[in-house]
Structure 1
Amino acid sequence: MKTIIQVVQHLRPGGIETLVLDLLAFSQADETTIIVSLEGELESAIEAWPKLAPYRDRLIFVNKTPGLTPSLIFTLAKLFKKLNAHAIHTHHIGPLLYAGFAARLSSIKHLIHTEHDAWHLNDKKRCLLQRFVIKAVRPTLVADAKTVANQMQLKLQCANKINVIHNGINSQLFIPGDQCLARQGLNLPQHVTLIGCSGRMEVVKGQSVLLHALTALPDNIHLAFAGGGSTEQQLQALALKLGINKRVHFLGRLDNMPIFYQALDIFCLPSLNEGFPLSPLEAQSCNIKTLVTDVGASKETLCPESGQFVIADNAQEMARTLLSMLQDHKTYQPREFVKQHGEVRTMAQAYASLRFVGNNKAAILGDSRL
């Protein structure tokens, strides 16, 4: 049995963290996956995110202190040796910095690094640091989208080609359902048209733009938010100020996300920045038409027949496109697109195959159609 160690900065609800949990859940039969979180502590993390509970015996927290911590490299190196790690898989610059050098100190052959977005590389210091670390530890590089791979090539000046493995979701969990029952379960109104938006409530997620867009839509169109965050109260105040508070439903963090998507007529992701988001795949797997903003690799997640994208931070264009999509009564099957191009099992298999390719060899794995 081979031990694969996924290293993340923290284990709080988010796209990267959900993906890493999926890689654990869908590990290959001959592999055991362990997740190492640089920040945090086990019990408090589980309390904040109960989804972690079933995996508690596969989670290790090293409780990193704020700031640069060089000693963490040696702590991780000892941990990797103790666990007899076959491969280390890092996500984002912090884990790459610490776990990358630790993997090389431990003489671990397979070091994989996945980049989940590219917009942070616009920061010159961060970009130079990441370029240095990549040259020093020589990981096999993966981008979760072609857009990200192109930016990595441009800004990180990577010598080798970058593997592209698209993120995937569990299409056997996210399935179509009865809209009336779903709305009943969430205490949502039955006889309205419902737009849904899920994700962390932070400025970068653009929920305020969607609220402004709702003011330009007919009164029978409502909006449901799933998730929480630092801007939740501001968004509630904005809905009240705009006079649409009776049409906006704040559901908080939901553990049963399939029922949320099943309740919708359309899903909208209004982000100002993104990597390769999972929520559009989840919604479409439930056969829900989806609109995203053209940021990061968001539009790479869309079914070409039913999905639409608009420029970011433009409430008027968002409203016009949402109304057009709602008035389109054709029957679409975006679920079939997700099953073919965004399935978690395909993603997990692609990563497993990459561990047999060897470091620094070029390969394009997973779905290259997107």
Structure 2
Amino acid sequence: MKTIVQVVQHLRPGGLEVMALELMNFSTFRHNMKIVSLEGDMESAIAAWPRLEAYKNQLIFLDKQPGLSFALVKQLRNLLSELKADVVHTHHIGPFFYGGLASRLNGIAHMHTEHDAWHYNDKRHRLLHRIVSLVANPVEVADADIVAQGMMDLPGIHQLKVIKNGIDTSRFIPGDKFKARNALNLPSGVKLIGASGRLEEVKGHSILIEAMADLPAHYHLVIAGSGSLESALKAQAERLAIDHRVHFLGHVENMPMFYQSLDLFCLPSFNEGFPLAPLEAQSCGIPTAVTDVGGAVETLCPQTGLVLKAGDPEAMAEKILPFLYESRLHTPRDFVMSHADVRKMAKAYDSLTEGLCYGV
């Protein structure tokens, strides 16, 4: 069995990191797969994200410090030799640079998944991409059509494929709304809108909170996630006198239960690649609204989804208000099962990996 080594910048809760873990669950190469995190250490990572505990025998942390490190290329090269890696699979620009150079020095195949393209507006990122493309000849994958479009003008693109991310539809399933709310200590007699993700500016939670001020009193918002803006967002809700209608759960391990508690899931981001959260929510049967950024709209069920304008709280409130009362003939779960099951994603990556291993 061939050995596949995925390389990520860090292992903190996020779409890219979840996707890497899901490949370890569903790839035919899963028993010979490792994930190398350039940053962090095992103990801290598991403490912050308990889900990693189940994979700890397949995780390696290099504790990279800030800044460019050519010593890390050597360290990664030696590690790949030790692991007898056949294919290096990198995610995002930092791992692309270090993993690409290390794979070239070891003479092994390099596959890269790009999860967004907006960061290539940074000239440094374009330069790093060009360097690796010239010396390593990687096979590159975009996780959304919009990401592929953004990469097409990059110099050094040799092979570019689109493999859209998928989620585990056997885990994210419809459930009892009342039981889910009771377990999460959420109010039962309200219309409940949910959002999740890092509490950082790019995720747009402040816009959604502002929109809540324009919605009726029986509309509540629940947010799953943590981040540097948590205190500021709580203060914003208090300032708008809606803090009793905005519920902060912090990190939630049981995300299927979170989605099952909702009437609507909302992704109010300013930037996205191909986000997993809308797929997870829809797989639980929950209608979903996303802002028209990145590949977010590509995740949306066309029969049941709602597209919002990023950064416009008044327009958000205006669209959300009637949406929760609309009758629907379709369930968004059908869309996800047909288009975005993780098994379909894993099969596509396995096919690409076999081609790299066996020269197909």
TM interval, short-chain normalised: over 0.9
Alpha-carbon separation, structure 1, partners of 2:217 and 2:178: 20
Partner residue of 1:100? 100
Alpha-carbon separation, structure 1, partners of 2:163 and 2:322: 33
Paired residue secondary structure (2:22): helix
One of 242, 251, 271 as aligned partner of 1:253: 251
Q: Which moved more, 1:307-316 or 1:138-147?
A: 307-316
Partner residue of 1:73? 73
One-letter code aligned to 2:102? A
1:278 is displaced (CA, Å) by 0.4
Partner residue of 1:353? 351
The 5 A counterparts of 1:172-211 are 172-211=170-209
Partner residue of 1:147? 146
CA contact (8 A) 2:138 2:159 kept: no
Runs of 4 or more off by more than 6 Å in structure 1? none
Alpha-carbon separation, structure 1, partners of 2:58 and 2:356: 25
Question: 1:152-181 deviations in whole A, cap 9, x for unaligned?
Answer: 002x13444510000111000000001001
1:86 is displaced (CA, Å) by 1.4
Q: Which moved more, 1:316-325 or 1:110-119?
A: 316-325
CA contact (8 A) 2:7 2:37 kept: yes
1:325 is displaced (CA, Å) by 1.3
Partner residue of 2:277? 279
1:356 is displaced (CA, Å) by 2.6
Structure 1 portions without partners, runs of 5+:
363-370
| TM-score (ref. length: structure 1) | 0.94
1:308 is displaced (CA, Å) by 1.5
Partner residue of 1:6? 6
Partner residue of 1:365? none
Alpha-carbon separation, structure 1, partners of 2:30 and 2:47: 31
CA contact (8 A) 2:110 2:139 kept: yes
Structure 2 portions without partners, runs of 5+:
none
Alpha-carbon separation, structure 2, partners of 1:66 and 1:214: 38
One of 222, 225, 229 as aligned partner of 2:223: 225
CA contact (8 A) 1:287 1:332 kept: no
Alpha-carbon separation, structure 2, partners of 1:231 and 1:356: 43
CA contact (8 A) 1:284 1:290 kept: yes
The 5 A counterparts of 1:6-85 are 6-28=6-28, 32-85=32-85
Structure 1's 170 and 83: CA in aligned 2 closer, same or farther, altered over 3 A?
A: same
Partner residue of 1:125? 124
Alpha-carbon separation, structure 2, partners of 1:322 and 1:311: 12
Alpha-carbon separation, structure 1, partners of 2:188 and 2:42: 40
| TM-score (ref. length: structure 2) | 0.97
1:125 is displaced (CA, Å) by 2.5
Partner residue of 1:368? none
Partner residue of 1:299? 297
Question: 1:13-62 deviations in whole A, cap 9, x for unaligned?
Answer: 11111111111111206751100011111111111111100110000011
Alpha-carbon separation, structure 1, partners of 2:210 and 2:125: 34
Q: Which moved more, 1:265-274 or 1:61-70?
A: 61-70
Paired residue secondary structure (1:197): strand
Alpha-carbon separation, structure 2, partners of 1:59 and 1:305: 40
